[in-house]
A and B are shown apart, each in its own frame.
With several copies, the nearest count.
Chain A
Amino acid sequence: MTTAAAPALREQTVSIVANDRDTDQYYRLEVRAPEIAPLVQPGQFAHVRILPLKEALLRRPFSIFQVTTDTFSILYKNVGRGTDVLSRMRSGEELSVIAPLGHGFTVPAPGAEVPLLVAGGYGMAAMYLLAQRSPQKGIVFVGGRRRVDILCEKEFAALGWEVRATTEDGSHGEKGLVTHPLIAELKRGAAGKKLFACGPTPMLKAVAKLAADFNLPAELSMDEHMCCGTGVCLTCVIPIKTADGWEYQRTCTEGPVFDREQILWEVPQ
């Protein structure tokens, strides 16, 4: 935990510009937030209070997907009580957001390693700004269970990135796990590459292992339950290596993005 003056953030009541279904259970929500949009770094998130939720009090965290000069948007999946209520909200209705939050991805410097992005499901949401702001283009490996879980392929292509999709049921792209084409790519030549990943924990773990095997740098965005989202409550911690062992650090503050070397995947007994 650090007391170093943390980056700027805002709490604001914002109104919904658009909230439309993307594919299947996925929705895109855009809100007007001129003060927040310019502050957003790739991999940061917004902590959203879904005001119509009454007996469920906590905010829900969502990666910031895209920004314009005066709006930002999220790409979310309807998985439970909060996202279900959110999916039924109309433009003009209001939400309370605290954003931008968390330590995001390192945007590759010009001439730095070639970025390979690895995303599962809504993990794609955390990747768009990184792809958009990275001076050199790379490859996006995107995986999902079914065709509908492969999100915004076109938008990444439009940014000039190569997209390699995999689905577990083979309904779209290559059949299998997202790590298969990644391994193939790395075997073709791993030097000078860097991995950036966001998705389910098992996928992150697999990517971390690959990075270690090929001895590549990797930045992983961890998905932990959150409460305050602002570093106060110590809900969202994961075990992180330190000089003298390990300690629990906060995914909402020191994370959600960590270097693969930092992460202890099992809590030592």
Chain B
Amino acid sequence: MNLAVQIGTMRMPNPVTVASGTFGYGVEYSRLIDLNQLGAVTVKGIRLNPVRGNPTPRTAEVASGMLNAIGLQGPGVDGFIKKYWPFLRELKVPTIINIWGTTVEEYAEVARRFDALGGVGALELNVSCPNIKEGGAQFGTDVKLLAQVVAACRKATSLPLITKMSPNVPNIAPFARAAEESGSDALAVTNSFPAMAIDIRTRRPKLANITGGLTGPAIKPIAVKLVWEAAKAVKIPIIGMGGIQTAADAIEFMMAGAAAVAVGTANFYEPQTPLYVVAGIREYMEQQKFTEVGQITGSIKFS
């Protein structure tokens, strides 16, 4: 039974990774789960220089989900390479590095730096962070800018490129095609949804940033539809995410067209989730007598 998934030149031993920003830099959860059982480790978004992040409160709990506005706090490229790369480099499974910038040039520069580093599994271009003014969200909602960012990164590196799509568009198809045509090896669908919550006792927003991204089971039905529509629009593989808690959720995303999946918010309340999902997919394949995990991808039926 073969669970491996190929994303450009990156081979994931199984289709389950973790969502950027919900798994730190891998090392933190290494005390609770065996990272080498994952399909890949995806790290928190990184830009060229260190980022302090937003004031607190940064997250709030909502029905079947949460809001976050972390503000992409991070050590920058050098800090990451110094503090976290020595640990990640030793893993048996590939590392997906989520990158962002405030200009097309910065995206390309960060891509170049990680290309030079060597040993990186893939780069995930976050063109859709809703939580900081220059968090790349505008790149994700403007087809031309999106194409520029992807093309510039394509020039800057031979590493597999995964474009992380913004959910916040009337029709995802043209954006998916723009990423594919500009040289993206895969798509990540989807990022969080712009949202907000107010504490009616204090009349203040529950997040210091006022708005934040909605994630968790609440968004799953919207995310599944975005994956289904993106899959119809492009040939490159899709990493599906949005509220995955169980193997059944992951299989739903795969049936809609995802080649791989990422577990996000669920890690926070159940860090074992990614491993349960891998086990559940294996079990399902046995029941169905599938030999290739790809047999699940796009297996939705309409008649």
Contact = CB atoms under 8 A, between A and B. Distances in A.
Let me know if chains A and B touch directly in the complex, using CB atoms closer than 8 Å. yes
A225 B67 CA distance: 13
Contacts of A236: 56
A66 B239 CA distance: 45
Contacts of B66: 57-58, 227
Contacts of B265: 57
A87 interface: no
Contact of B55 (A1, A2, A11, A267): A267
Nearest to A228: B268
Contact of A58 (B29, B83, B269): B269
Nearest to B53: A248
Contact of A237 (B25, B44, B68, B73): B73
B216 A57 contact: yes
Given A98-B32, A234-B53, A57 B269 contact: yes
Nearest to B79: A1
B73 A234 contact: yes
Interface residues of A, number: 32
Interface string A225-252: 1011011111111100000000110000
B32 A11 contact: yes
Nearest to B272: A11
A2 B53 CA distance: 17
A3 B269 CA distance: 22
Interface size class for chain B?
A: 35 or more
A13 B68 CA distance: 27
B276 interface: no
Contact of B271 (A8, A227, A230, A248): A230
B64 interface: yes
A213 interface: no
Contacts of A248: 52-53, 73
A233 B21 CA distance: 6
A227 B268 contact: yes
B263 to A, nearest CB: 12
Nearest to A225: B57
Nearest to A96: B270
A236 B59 CA distance: 9
A11 B217 CA distance: 22
Contacts of B271: 11, 98, 230
Interface in A1-38: 1-3, 6, 8-9, 11
The B interface, classified by DSSP as helix, strand, loop or mixed, is loop
A89 B207 CA distance: 31
A56 interface: yes
Nearest to A58: B61
B32 A230 contact: yes
Interface in B195-228: 216-217
Contact of A59 (B31, B58, B269): B269
A49 interface: yes
Contact of B84 (A3, A59, A231): A3
Contacts of A49: 269-270
Contact of B32 (A9, A59, A225, A253): A9
Nearest to A232: B24
Interface of B: 21-25, 27-29, 31-32, 44, 52-53, 55-59, 61, 63-66, 68, 70, 73, 75, 83-84, 86-87, 216-217, 265, 267-272
Interface of A: 1-3, 6, 8-9, 11, 49, 55-59, 96, 98, 224-225, 227-228, 230-238, 247-248, 253, 267
29 contacts: A1-B75, A2-B83, A3-B27, A3-B83, A8-B31, A9-B32, A49-B270, A55-B64, A57-B66, A57-B216, A57-B217, A57-B268, A225-B56, A225-B57, A228-B268, A231-B28, A232-B22, A232-B23, A234-B73, A235-B56, A235-B57, A235-B59, A235-B68, A235-B70, A236-B56, A237-B56, A248-B52, A248-B73, A267-B55
